[in-house]
């Protein structure tokens, strides 16, 4: 029987990660318990168990929680089309660009890599004024066509997808060429399926970030508030008479879809493999 050596470093990391996980769980539990209280009870007792478990707060939040004249069903609909649209557009453009970068040699490829790294280093807040001018100039402000700004091909996704494509044996593509397939068909039916788990894993992590993004809808899509931005606007609009348990109920309803998606897709993120090709 092989005995594993005790590692102080790994133990410290495990304890630190366990503490972080416990803090998140406690925060979620506190928010859930607070969402079951009445507003008066919450003001008097913010940490105790509810005296009356008001699960009706969730139905009340669904009916009455409004931001900018939009109710919860409308905000959820806006969150769905905006989040899914951003992920589809950005992933499609990045995957196509990464395939070209990985498989074809052309002048300026190294320059693009340097620019990509530089873009990743620029704080996003520093690019907002220029992005606003571009959006206004193109007539994309407060329009679903704002999704077109997600076409970039840059960022960390480019590096990951390019590495994944480079690790897929080129013999797959050569066999497709021999059978008469063109570049596009080879990419779509042969090379792309090899990195589907990576696409799913990155899409899930990106989806969580886009779903929780409240600054972009507030700045660029004021007529299309999603759940994250809507809850922020609701908190500002009702600052003097805020029903905090109702707000917590809305926050948990906003978090529930992402928790479910993460639980479904965590196996793809844990089993992500950049090696490509056939196992065996």
Q: Could you tell me the pTM of the whole model?
A: 0.82
Q: What is the pLDDT of residues 120-153, one digit of tens each?
A: 777 666 678 888 898 999 999 999 999 998 887 7
Can you give the pLDDT at residue 124?
Answer: 64
Residue 57 has pLDDT above 60, yes or no: yes
Can you give the pLDDT at residue 197?
Answer: 85
Alpha-carbon distances of 12 from 9, 22, 23, 25, rounded to whole Å = 5, 15, 17, 20
pLDDT, greater one: 272 or 43: 43
Between helix 196-211 and helix 156-166 the angle, nearest 10°, is 170
Can you give the pLDDT at residue 75?
Answer: 92
Can you give the pLDDT at residue 121?
Answer: 78
Cα 64 to Cα 60: distance, rounded to the nearest angstrom: 6
Residue 19 has pLDDT above 90, yes or no: yes
Residue 177 has pLDDT above 80, yes or no: yes
Structural domains in the chain plus CATH codes: 65-270 (1.10.3720.10)
Q: What is the pLDDT of residues 91-126, one digit of tens each?
A: 999 999 899 888 888 888 888 888 888 877 776 666
Can you give the pLDDT at residue 276?
Answer: 46
Can you give the pLDDT at residue 5?
Answer: 67
């Amino acid at each position: 029987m092989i005995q594993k050596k005790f590692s102080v470093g790994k133990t410290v990391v495990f304890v630190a990660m366990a503490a972080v996980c416990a803090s998140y769980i406690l925060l979620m539990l506190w928010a859930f318990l607070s969402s079951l209280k009445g507003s008066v009870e919450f003001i008097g007792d913010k940490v105790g168990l509810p005296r009356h478990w008001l699960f009706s707060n969730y139905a009340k939040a669904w009916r009455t929680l409004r931001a900018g004249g939009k109710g919860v069903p409308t905000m959820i609909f806006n969150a769905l089309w905006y989040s899914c649209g951003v992920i589809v557009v950005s992933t499609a453009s990045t995957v196509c660009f990464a395939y070209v970068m990985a498989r074809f040699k052309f002048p300026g490829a190294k320059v693009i890599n340097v620019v990509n790294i530089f873009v990743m280093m620029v704080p996003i807040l520093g690019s907002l004024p220029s992005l606003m001018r571009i959006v206004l100039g193109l007539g994309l402000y407060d329009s679903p066509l704002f999704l077109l700004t997600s076409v970039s091909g840059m960022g960390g996704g480019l590096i990951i997808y390019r590495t994944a494509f480079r690790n897929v044996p080129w013999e797959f593509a050569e066999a497709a060429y021999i059978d008469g397939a063109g570049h596009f068909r080879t990419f779509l039916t042969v090379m792309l399926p090899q990195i589907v788990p990576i696409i799913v894993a990155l899409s899930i992590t990106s989806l969580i970030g886009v779903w929780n993004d409240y600054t972009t809808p507030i700045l660029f899509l004021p007529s299309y508030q999603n759940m994250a931005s809507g809850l922020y606007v609701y908190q500002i609009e009702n600052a003097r008479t805020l029903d905090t348990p109702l707000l917590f109920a809305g926050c948990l309803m906003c978090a529930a879809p992402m928790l479910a998606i993460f639980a479904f897709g965590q196996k793809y993120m844990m089993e992500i493999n950049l090696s490509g090709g056939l196992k065996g």
